[in-house]
Structures are given as C-alpha cells and as structure tokens.
Amino acid sequence: MSVTRESFGFMPDGTEIYKYILENGKGTQAHVLTLGATLQSFITSDKNGEMRDVLLGFDTVEDYLSKSNYQGATVGRYANRIGGASFEINGREYKLTPNEKNVTSLHSAGDFSYNAWKAIVPDADMVEMSYFSPDGSNGFPGNVDVKVVFRLTEDNKLSIKYRGISDKDTYLNFTNHSYFNLNGYSSGDVLSHYLKIDSPFITPVDELSIPQGDPMSVEGTPFDFRKFTKIGDRIEDDHVQLKMTGGYDHNYCLSDSQVPLREVAQSYSEDSVIKMKVLTTLTGKQFYAGNFLKGAEGKNGKPMEKRSGFCLETQFFPDTPHRPDFPSCLFKAGEEYSSETVFAFSCEQE
C-alpha cells in the first residue's frame, strides 16, 4: 500500500489543493482531493485486466467550482434536502440558505463540498481529511469539527468513515456524492447496469423532492430493486414518483436507526464485469440515476450526459427536522456523529 500527494491547483483565494493517491498491491487507486474531500477517481481492473476509472469527475479546481453537481464530494452539514430551508431547535427557528428553487436547502448549499479541507496521512493505506464549519454557516447552528477518513484495502474496499462534533445542538447528516459508471467514466449511460437494493420502502416526494406521507412499499412498482434489475428497464414507466423527479432520485429506507456495518446494495456491469457492493451503518440511501446531468465536460474533456453515472448516497432520511417519525439526526452539543460507508469492488465472471 502507498499514499502519494501531488498538487491539483489553487482556489481563488490562493489556497493550494492537493490530490492524494491511495494505491494497493493490485494497482487499484483511489484519488482524493482536499477540495471538498472529493473522491475524484477510483481506478480498478475489468474482466480483461485493463484499468478503468469508474467515477465521473473533473481535471481542474476551476471545473469543480464552476461545473460540479457534487461529483465525488463529501456533502454536509446536511446531505439532501430540508423543506422550507428552515427548522427549529429548542424553540428557536434557524433560517438556512435556500439554494434550490429559492425554497429548499439542498446539501447545505455546498458548505463541505466546495471548500478546502486539511489532510494528513496517518498510515500507508489512508488519508484523513478535516474541516471546520463555523457557527451560522448557511444558517446552521454550532461550530462543527469534521473528519473524514478514506481507507483503501488490498481487497479493493474503499472505506469512508465520518466523524463530527458541534458545540451546539444541531442537525448532522453526511454523505459522499460519487457518480459511478462501472464501464468507465466516458462509456455512455448506466441504463444497462444491474442494481440490487435491499429495501422494501422508499420515501415518496412532492414536486420539490421533499418527503410526503408515509414510506411507500416498492412492491409492484418500478422502485423494486430487491432482485437484480437493469436501471433502465423501468425508469421511463408512467409512475407519478418517476415523473415527479425525472427518473430515480429517491431515498430507500434501510433501518429505523444506525446499525452495525452491513451490505445494502450491489451493482454490476455485464460489459466490464466490475461489481460494486455498498455497505453502511446509516438508515437510508439515495438512489439517483443522474437525471439532471447536462453534458458538462469532465475528465479528459469527456461530457457527462444525462444518466451517464448513478449515485448511491448513504444518509439519514431527507427533511428529518420536519419529520419526527423519521430516524433523528439531531445531535446534542458535544455528542459525536459517527458513520461508515464502504464501496467494495470486485471483478469475477458469474
């Protein structure tokens, strides 16, 4: 195992951004940027022994700041959406930055994702990113210290461990927003990818993608991925929830509270025969099929067209501040947020 560092460019204020390259004995690499604690590339072997980069992303700081739809970024303080861009804690209302349609707070307006983080290398298989989010950032209460540790194993598992602590009661909900294409980032859409999600329910949404009503059973709907199904098989079905979001962009309910690390999803490509398993300790997972990618030029000038990547964002449910029936992610002052997600890659003919 090895970790190397190279310059990736500079922020507008002159802060230098670095890329850390984690590599195991098989030649598998994970590239992590100090800009947004972003997973820029994951390079692994396909069925022919050729190396493929299975992540959408960009080659420059400027592109990440001007073109990004959170490709590979660490997201927080609150991943996903908060309705009305406000919430109450202890009887006090907090108004957030309404960065989506001037109504909702989406991904906390990029607090974690578009700023520079600090990095250390604690061991030869990992890099630790740290970030300080000040009290009042985009309206959220509390000074928050965050650490995210990326670790690559010899058996091609990428572990992402999150830690966070605030000096005030606040909501915390972190994720990684990688867009995957198991055929390689420049290989067209992902509609032929097979996907399996171990969940019987989603949280249905309104026209602003805010959860509405009780969790909806996936039984008999295009949202049932409990058996391997191609992403594209039913994505254009005439279902109100698909019409509402332009395709898959929904939270799958995994558990009622945080639990030990367990497998929650798998995907594979018949072309590359690369398989990815997702494990997490968290309660939910957003499956997003890249419906709103619009052809921005990514790595090596390759366009990221509609549905050329998919996301499996582990998380607490969206809009939990307004849903006491959802698993809570309100953390008291001094109480530590902690979670882990693992993306495990393999390439075996089955």
Q: Among all residues, which ones are annotated catalytic?
A: 177, 313
Residue that the structure tokens 């194993």 belong to: 153
Contact 2, 27 (CB under 8 A): no
d(CA 153, CA 348): 18
Q: Could you tell me which of 15, 28, 138 has the C-alpha nearest to residue 85?
A: 138
Q: Considering only CA atoms, give the Rg of the chain.
A: 19
CA angle 137–254–346, rounded 5-degree value: 95
Name the DSSP letter for residue 331. E
Half-sphere exposure of 350 (CA within 13 A, CB side): 11
Name the DSSP letter for residue 227. S
Contact 130, 115 (CB under 8 A): no
d(CA 303, CA 186): 8
Q: What DSSP letter does each residue of 89-153 carry, written as one string? A: ETTEEEEPP--BTTTBEEGGGGTTTTSB-EEEEEETTEEEEEEEE-TTGGG--S-EEEEEEEEE-
